[in-house]
Homo-oligomer: A and B are copies of this chain.
Amino acid sequence: MAERSLAAFAGKTVLVTGGLGFMGFNLVQRLLHADVTLRVLGRSWPPILGNLESVLDGATFFHGDIRDEALVDDAVAGCDLIYHLAGKSGPAASNSSPLEDLDVNARGILTLLDACRRLSPKVKVVFPSSRLVYGANASQPTPETAPTAPLSIYGVHKWASEQYLLLYERLYGIRTTILRITNPYGPFQRPEQKSYGVVNWFIHQAMHNRALTVYGQGTQLRDYIHVDDVVDALLIAGAAKEADAGIFNVGSGRGVSFVQMAEVIVRAAGRGTIKHIPWPAEQAVVETGDFFADTSRIEKTLGWKAGVPFELGIQDVVAKYRRMESSGALGGAEMRL
């Protein structure tokens, strides 16, 4: 399915904002092998891995911030498809720095959409929203029709971003697809992006034989999804007309308890320990309770379904980092996740 989508991009100009972030870099790796004119906009340079600067060979790099209107104009003009992955992640962080979250996430996407309206009104924009737009304790599995009631500024801005996109579709004909992604994990997450995904952070800790900190009993269910599956969903969403104006959950559809996730990681790494501590206040307030996604809409509409089983997915990520570490590709004493 995803490979057919890549074929559909032939000859198109595709922009990935946040293309050096965790999800963006995984997507860029796939697009580099496609017959597209690839543009990458990102703040960070050198990219994820110091000695892998050559990975962007063949793409045009726009170095800077998503709030920089002139830079965004340059990157957007003439695009057929935009993956808007630039942004700041993390619900607890957003509650500590609400104005920064507003600026990066809300102003960022409005700046992009304004450029689309002026310069590329026929463009399609694919946007990764989040399960965090839903309220706590929604029915499980959670369908896209569940009430939105975010517990964080981050979640409010994800929901607002969805509304901006739908509004720009209605007002200016800019096509859009919104993917509400659950808990992604996989290679190419930076260590400083701890707040993004706890799974990657735990893999990082386990591989260094450190403690994996679990709040409380850790029995809350989560829906963990390998980034390869997410990238497939992004590619299909970008290519399929049936995805236009749609909001789709992207998750495994399976609930795995938090502590079980930690156990799988310790087992796969063959190192690390699990340590239970009481819930910190700033984490307790953003805790949603059990969550796993109802993914029947995207299965029926776009034919996408997660393919990587959780245990195998974790083993895959651990193996990838081992290879990178032993090949020296990580370019430093500290493994970069």
Interface size classification for chain A: 20 to 34
CB pair A285–B171 under 8 Å, yes or no, is yes
A208 interface hit (Cβ, 8 Å): no
CB pair A114–B95 under 8 Å, yes or no, is no
Of A102, A151, A159, which is in contact with the most chain B CB atoms at under 10 Å from its CB?
A: A102
Q: For A150, give the chain B residue with the smallest CB separation.
A: B163
Q: Is the interface of A mostly helix, strand, loop or mixed?
A: helix
CA–CA, A156 and B171, complex, Å: 14
CB pair B152–A156 under 8 Å, yes or no, is no
A107-B102, A114-B98 given; A156·B167 CB < 8 A: yes
A98 touches which of B95, B102, B110, B159 (Cβ 8 Å)? B110
Q: For A166, give the chain B residue with the smallest CB separation.
A: B149
Residues of B contacting A107 with CB < 8 Å?
A: 99, 102
A164 interface hit (Cβ, 8 Å): yes
A285 touches which of B111, B157, B170 (Cβ 8 Å)? B170
A156-B163, A167-B156, A171-B285 given; A102·B95 CB < 8 A: no
Number of identical protomers: 2
A153 interface hit (Cβ, 8 Å): yes
Q: For A101, give the chain B residue with the smallest CB separation.
A: B110
A106 interface hit (Cβ, 8 Å): yes
Residues of B contacting A170 with CB < 8 Å?
A: 151, 285
Q: How far is the CB of A129 from chain B (nearest CB, A)?
A: 14
A77 interface hit (Cβ, 8 Å): no
CA–CA, A156 and B285, complex, Å: 24
Residues of B contacting A274 with CB < 8 Å?
A: none
A160 interface hit (Cβ, 8 Å): yes
Residues of B contacting A156 with CB < 8 Å?
A: 160, 163-164, 167
Q: How far is the CB of A235 from chain B (nearest CB, A)?
A: 28
A99 touches which of B98, B111, B151 (Cβ 8 Å)? B111
Q: How far is the CB of A286 from chain B (nearest CB, A)?
A: 9
Sample of 13 A–B contacts (CB below 8 Å):
A99-B107, A99-B111, A102-B106, A102-B107, A106-B106, A106-B160, A110-B153, A150-B167, A151-B170, A156-B163, A159-B160, A170-B285, A171-B285
Known pairs A102-B106, A151-B170, A156-B164. 9 more at Cβ < 8 A? A99-B107, A102-B102, A110-B153, A149-B163, A150-B167, A152-B167, A156-B167, A160-B160, A170-B285
